[in-house]
Amino acid sequence: MLRPFFLRFLTAISLLTATALALQPGAAVAKVFGAESFTLANGLTVVVVPNPRAPVVKHMIWYRVGGADEGAGESGIAHFLEHLMFKGTQQRPAGEFSRLVAKNGGRENAFTSYDYTAYHQTIAKDRLEMVMALEAERMTGLVITSDEVERERLVVLEERRTRTDNNPSSRLREQMAAVQFYNYPYRRPVIGWEHEIRALDRERILAFYRRWYAPNNAVLVVAGDITAAELKPLAEKHYGAIPVAAPVVRVRPDEPPQTAAREVVLRDPRVPQPSWSRSWLAPSLLWGAREHAYALEVLAEILGGGATARLYRALVLDAGIADGAGAFYDSSTRGPSRFGFYASPRREVAPEKVEQEAEAEIAKILANGVDPDEVARAKTRMKAAAVLARDSLNTGAQTLGAALALGLTVEDVESWPERIDAVTPAQVNAAARFVLAGSGHVTGRLLPAAKE
């Protein structure tokens, strides 16, 4: 299963950022994707992203539930259920879903994040109704046995060992998240803690499934060679017949103020090169001081958006002490986000030297602010970077599905260019002070250890 949440910490590219069209100041505002949407009587939200370049469609079902919605002692249950969704239903035996998709020339996958779980298929347009019927069946008709749970538990545990336990960088990120958040459930790994994965049983997993998997807690996105007029009767036929379920409320604990700096140091003989990172809690589009979210996106571009960004230029090009450096921020989270920096020192350079230089760049931002010209250049780069977003089936489906599963709207996505265009240098400076002036940051150091 593809799980992009393992990459989010270092990629730091907001889903919304990846969807912008180029827009010069004062130009007419165009919709990013030209998406259409409607809602079925049972509460299922449907979004259509027309893209007639080829007779192919991307079909995605997004559930408004993820790792941050799990109860105490059940970390990893959303991800475990994702695996088990590929078993049988009341109408079909285990494995038939995947076999039929492959037989008809399609591709399928799924992923779980903190805030949503999604299932997707890419297939020829004339096979769309088939995958809609299959996906609608498993929305409420999943059948799993205790033996299947035990076999899939071994798969999940092996995935955890491969992706996290045997990967020093992943282990550090997991430990930093556990320290970064005092109370918010982002402190738990989406894949789950090993001891809790081992304790999950069939009854608990099915109870989680019955609570969260329902049409009124889902978003259907179809991108490709199709219109809303074509899709609506198919959606009503296959998904519209599913009864509405009792509504669920996503209640999560809030995060208290943070005033103490923390450090996480991981030494491992498998580390080929040291690395350093530092992160602060930051507002998102749905949490905290949301008015800073778009300005923080611009600030992240100024500091870490490629080879011309401040950190890379200062540490890699000018000082010559790092092999890489950048910044990360993701505005598209339901809860608190993180804003931070990372760098990897060159082999002959002490990690402390890189940390000092990175801190100096942060201090410059706080003392002197950003230059209006670099704000303008950053906004131009951000918008120009996704001029061809509509050419991809994946981009529209992924961005709109994630946004609606989080609690944003189609309009939030479509209006992204003008909202970024409206960001001012004063707003960027205010956002920088709001986040970076605080002392409640977490520093992570990944260091090699002597081999025994």
C-alpha dihedral (162, 163, 167, 173), degrees to nearest 10: -150
**Are 228 and 278 members of one domain?**
no
Domain boundary among 185, 205, 238: 238
- Decide if 287 contacts 309 (C-beta within 8 A): no
**Are 214 and 277 members of one domain?**
no
C-alpha dihedral (74, 163, 157, 97), degrees to nearest 10: 90
Looking at residues 209-236, what average pLDDT do you find? 98
User: CA end-to-end span of the chain, whole Å?
Assistant: 35
Which pLDDT belongs to residue 17?
A: 40
Which pLDDT belongs to residue 11?
A: 34
- The model's confidence at residue 406, banded by pLDDT at 50, 70 and 90, is very high
- Residue-range definition of the domain harbouring residue 346: 262-448
**Are 216 and 293 members of one domain?**
no
Number of domains in the chain: 2
**Are 268 and 340 members of one domain?**
yes
pLDDT digits 0-9 by tens, 93-117: 999 999 999 999 999 999 999 999 9
Looking at residues 184-192, what average pLDDT do you find? 98
Q: Give which of 439, 76, 400 is closest to 278, Cα–Cα.
A: 439
Give the number of other CB atoms < 10 A from CB of residue 11.
13
Burial label, 53 (beta-carbon count in 10 A; 0-12, 13-18, 19+): exposed
Say if residue 429's pLDDT is above 50.
Answer: yes
For the chain, the average pLDDT equals 91
pLDDT digits 0-9 by tens, 309-346: 999 999 999 999 999 999 999 999 999 999 999 999 99
Exposed e or buried b for every residue in 101-130, given b needs 16+ CB within 10 A? beeeebebebbbbbbbbbbbbbbbbebbeb
Residue 119 covered by a domain: yes
**Are 189 and 322 members of one domain?**
no
H helix intervals, 200-350: 202-212, 228-238, 293-304, 310-312
**Are 180 and 119 members of one domain?**
yes
> What CATH number corresponds to the domain at position 289?
3.30.830.10
Token couple for 340: 């931070």
Residue 256 covered by a domain: no
Q: Among 82, 196, 361, 414, which one carries the catalytic annotation?
A: 82
What does 148-174 look like in DSSP terms, one character per residue? Answer: HHHHHHHHHHHHHIIIIIT-HHHHHHH
- By percentage, how much of the chain surpasses pLDDT 70? 91
Domain boundary among 238, 272, 304: 238
Which pLDDT belongs to residue 417?
A: 86
Burial label, 193 (beta-carbon count in 10 A; 0-12, 13-18, 19+): middle
Strands 262-268 and 442-448 turn out to be: parallel
Which pLDDT belongs to residue 9?
A: 29
Which pLDDT belongs to residue 386?
A: 57
Which pLDDT belongs to residue 390?
A: 65
**Are 158 and 305 members of one domain?**
no
Which pLDDT belongs to residue 23?
A: 37
- The model's confidence at residue 159, banded by pLDDT at 50, 70 and 90, is very high
**Are 205 and 268 members of one domain?**
no
82 flagged as catalytic: yes
Residue 249 covered by a domain: no
Looking at residues 56-81, what average pLDDT do you find? 97
What does 77-88 look like in DSSP terms, one character per residue? Answer: HHHHHHHHTTSE
Q: Which amino acid is at 400?
A: L
Structure letter (DSSP) for residue 202: H
Alpha-carbon distance of 309 to 296, in angstroms, equals 15
Looking at residues 272-282, what average pLDDT do you find? 96
Which pLDDT belongs to residue 389?
A: 67
**Are 304 and 428 members of one domain?**
yes
For the chain, helix, strand, coil in percent to 5 are 45, 20, 35
Looking at residues 127-156, what average pLDDT do you find? 97
**Are 218 and 311 members of one domain?**
no
Give the number of other CB atoms < 10 A from CB of residue 427.
18
Residue 164 covered by a domain: yes
pLDDT digits 0-9 by tens, 359-399: 999 999 999 999 999 999 999 988 876 566 666 789 999 99
**Are 68 and 137 members of one domain?**
yes
Residue 94 covered by a domain: yes
Q: Tell me which of 165-169, 247-251, 339-343 is least confident.
A: 247-251
pLDDT digits 0-9 by tens, 6-40: 233 233 334 444 333 333 444 444 577 899 999 99
Residue 200 covered by a domain: yes
Task: Output the CA angle 66-67-72, nearest 5 degrees.
Answer: 125
Give the global pTM: 0.92
Q: Tell me which of 163-177, 194-208, 392-406 is least confident.
A: 392-406
Say if residue 5's pLDDT is above 90.
Answer: no
Which pLDDT belongs to residue 26?
A: 41
Residue 248 covered by a domain: no
Looking at residues 211-232, what average pLDDT do you find? 97
Looking at residues 276-287, what average pLDDT do you find? 98
Looking at residues 143-162, what average pLDDT do you find? 98
Which pLDDT belongs to residue 25?
A: 41
Which pLDDT belongs to residue 13?
A: 35
Residue 172 covered by a domain: yes
**Are 68 and 188 members of one domain?**
yes
Which pLDDT belongs to residue 452?
A: 59
For the chain, state the CA radius of gyration: 23
